[in-house]
């Protein structure tokens, strides 16, 4: 019997597997595809995702394969100077999704997760003790918990009967990688000219003589599950740019819409949803992959606590309570961005107005904060303005804060050295902060780097320790 079965070996499922194995949870990842998907749906990591990788000691692997790009205001592709951010990683890390999958697969495997490809989950049943998973071919597996990270058409979500309300696609976009015989300089000039008015268009080199092609395909219709043809791309390129650039020899072709849907709930008994299984939305701002990583980061330590037996009552319910509103906000901002990408007169007028408003630093900072996800504050019932927020990295002791979170444990930063986590020291580390005044407030961080408490009183601290880390060990 496994502790947790994760359905889906995409970035969300693999991130979750690594988080679970960090705490010794016996984890199995299932994926119906025999090999990792080659399609480059996502192109990089935003600030909060980069911080997360740093908090787990993974960032160097990503930096080795990725490329830093300067951060700038890019809400709805409106170019503005970079707003100031309270992060040591105020940049975009360009790294194709297959490389992210490779790194997270290696991490999960190194920590001992079992990953089975070519294994499709077709059904599940749960009882008071666990969940029985059925695979295509008849095999049955048993786990204490199951997490569906199996995409927008999630089998797990459908098996649970969880509603997926929202708005259907209204427009469609073609996406693929292929060669082009046109002169590279001519391609670059044509793309620049088209993008003055059509922000949903792009043709950029990705190496090996190939281009990543993004081109509007008109209104949504037909069978979106069927991949487009090369001729579909040629036709839409001619309609948009006046030329098909001589595209040929595609590596892969796909299409996507602008539907926004969100699962009515993220939990049903012992089964959870994360990533695209929990929500779908337009790709504007590149938030989808990042959103799934953040959900895995939130859920992983909580599931591990439940498996270990020290998770307090209600801890697993905080996953939905915290993450459902965040995803709902992403659905709103991506839909808004899609409207602002329209070439219709009304949206163009709103776009011109917003472009002017983004010259105000506060507006620019507010909008980019949404996209890069550093302004998320979980409502955990504390009036202190920083409680519930993620903690930025900073020097701490003889190192820095994020290195202290590599093990995925809680952390008490106690400048005065007067507070104690006795009884919880198997779950929570303590470190002094010489850079603070001795009478400065202490900070309790959860394993996901969000503040759980700020204060100086031992009794208050003990109350918060019980709330997030359960009863003290005897």
What would the mean pLDDT of 12-39 be, rounded to a whole number?
96
Whole-Å CA distances, 329 to 326, 336, 361: 5, 11, 21
Would you state the pLDDT for residue 293? 98
Residue-level pLDDT at 202? 93
Q: Could you tell me the pLDDT band of residue 39, with boundaries at 50, 70 and 90?
A: confident
pLDDT digits (tens, 9 = 90+) for 97-113: 999 999 999 999 999 99
Residue 222 pLDDT > 60, yes or no? no
* pLDDT (tens digit per residue) in 338-357: 999 988 999 999 999 999 99
- Residue percentage of the chain with pLDDT more than 90: 86
**Mean pLDDT value across residues 111-140:** 97
Structure-token match 């801890």, residue found: 315
- Residue 437: per-residue pLDDT: 75
Contacts of 248 (CB under 8 A, 6+ apart): 178, 179, 180, 181, 230
Provide the pLDDT for residue 433: 82
Averaged pLDDT, 228-238: 95
State the average pLDDT over residues 446-461: 96
- pLDDT averaged over the chain? 94
> Nearest-CA neighbor of 406 among 18, 89, 69?
18
In this predicted structure, the answer to whether residue 59 has a pLDDT above a threshold of 90 is: yes
CA neighbor of 27 nearest in space, from 110, 151, 98, 134: 110
CA distance 194 to 179: 20
Give the orientation angle of helix 97-110 with respect to helix 11-22, to 10 degrees.
Answer: 20
Mean pLDDT to the nearest integer, 33-37:
91
Q: For residues 272 and 146, is the Cβ–Cβ distance under 8 A?
A: yes
- pLDDT at residue number 225: 67
The span from the CA of 472 to the CA of 425, in Å, is: 9
- Place 219 in a pLDDT band, splitting at 50, 70 and 90: low
- 8 A C-beta contact, residue 341 and residue 199: yes
Lowest mean pLDDT segment, chosen from 10-19, 114-123, 212-221, 386-395: 212-221
CB 164 within 8 A of CB 156: no
Q: Lowest-confidence range among 120-124, 265-269, 395-399, 457-461?
A: 395-399
Write down the pLDDT at residue 452.
97
Question: What confidence category does residue 42 fall into, taking pLDDT thresholds of 50, 70 and 90?
Answer: confident
Identify the residue with better confidence: 280 or 41.
Answer: 280
Q: What is the pLDDT of residue 211?
A: 95
Reported as a pLDDT band with limits 50, 70 and 90, residue 226 is confident
- pLDDT at residue 220 tops 60: no
Decide if pLDDT at 224 tops 80: no
Residue 221 has what pLDDT? 54
pLDDT digits (tens, 9 = 90+) for 362-377: 999 999 999 999 999 9
pLDDT for 435:
74
161 versus 342: the higher-pLDDT residue is: 161
Residue 194 pLDDT level (bands cut at 50, 70, 90): very high
Strand, coil or helix: 24: coil
What's the pLDDT tens digit per position in 292-351? Answer: 999 999 999 999 999 999 999 999 999 999 999 999 999 999 999 999 998 899 999 999
Other C-beta atoms within 10 Å of 318: how many? 19
Q: What is the DSSP string of 247-290?
A: EEEEEEEEEEE--EEE-S-SEETTEEE-GGGTEE---TTS-HHH
Percent over 70 (pLDDT), the chain: 99
What H or E segment, with its residue span, contains residue 314? Answer: none
Tell me, what's the pLDDT at 318? 98
Q: Strands 114-117 and 27-31: what pairing?
A: parallel
Q: How far is 220 from 226, CA to CA, in rounded Å?
A: 13
> Going from the N-terminus, what domains does the chain have, and what CATH number goes with each?
2-166+261-372 (3.50.50.60), 170-257 (3.30.70.2450), 395-469 (3.40.30.120)
**What pTM, to 2 d.p., does this model score?**
0.95
What pLDDT score was predicted for residue 223? 58
């Amino acid at each position: 019997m496994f502790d947790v079965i994760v359905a889906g070996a995409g970035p969300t499922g693999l991130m979750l597997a690594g988080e679970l194995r960090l705490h010794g949870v016996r984890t199995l990842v299932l994926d119906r595809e025999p090999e990792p998907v080659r399609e480059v749906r996502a192109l990089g990591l935003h600030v909060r995702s980069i911080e997360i990788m740093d908090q787990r000691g993974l960032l160097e692997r990503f930096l080795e394969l990725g490329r830093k790009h300067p951060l700038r205001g890019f809400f709805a592709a409106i170019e503005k100077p970079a707003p100031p951010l309270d992060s040591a990683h105020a940049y975009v890390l360009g790294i194709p999704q297959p490389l992210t999958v490779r790194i997270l697969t290696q991490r999960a495997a190194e920590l001992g997760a079992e990953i089975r490809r070519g294994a499709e989950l077709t059904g599940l049943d749960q009882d008071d003790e666990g969940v029985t998973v059925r695979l295509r071919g008849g095999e049955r597996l048993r786990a204490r918990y199951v997490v569906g990270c199996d995409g927008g058409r999630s089998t797990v979500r459908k098996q649970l009967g969880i509603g997926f309300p929202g708005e259907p696609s209204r427009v469609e976009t073609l996406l693929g990688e292929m060669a082009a015989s046109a002169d590279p300089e001519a391609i670059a000039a044509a793309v620049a000219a088209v993008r003055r008015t059509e922000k949903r268009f792009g043709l950029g080199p990705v190496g090996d003589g190939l281009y990543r092609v993004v081109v509007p395909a008109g209104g949504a219709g037909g069978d979106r599950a069927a991949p487009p043809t090369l001729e579909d791309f040629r036709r839409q390129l001619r309609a948009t740019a006046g030329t098909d650039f001589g595209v040929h020899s595609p590596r892969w072709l796909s299409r996507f819409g602008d539907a926004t849907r969100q699962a009515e709930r993220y939990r049903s008994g012992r089964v959870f949803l994360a990533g695209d299984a929990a929500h779908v939305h337009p790709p504007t701002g590149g938030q989808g992959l990042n959103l799934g990583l953040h959900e895995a980061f939130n859920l992983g330590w909580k599931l591990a606590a439940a498996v270990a037996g020290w998770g307090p009552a209600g801890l697993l319910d905080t996953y939905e309570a915290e993450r459902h509103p965040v995803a709902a906000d992403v659905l709103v901002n991506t839909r808004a961005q899609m409207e602002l990408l329209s070439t219709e007169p009304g949206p163009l007028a709103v776009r011109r107005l917003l472009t002017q408003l983004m010259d105000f630093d506060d507006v620019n900072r507010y909008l980019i904060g949404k996209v890069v996800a550093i302004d998320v504050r979980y409502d955990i019932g504390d009036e202190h303005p920083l409680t519930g927020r993620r903690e930025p990295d900073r020097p701490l002791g003889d190192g820095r804060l994020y290195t202290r979170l590599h093990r995925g444990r809680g952390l008490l930063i106690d400048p005065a050295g007067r507070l104690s986590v006795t009884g919880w020291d198997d779950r929570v580390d303590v470190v002094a902060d010489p850079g603070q005044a001795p009478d400065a407030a202490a900070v309790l961080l959860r394993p996901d780097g969000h503040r759980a408490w700020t204060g100086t009183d031992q009794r208050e601290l003990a109350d918060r320790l019980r709330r997030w880390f359960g009863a003290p060990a005897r």
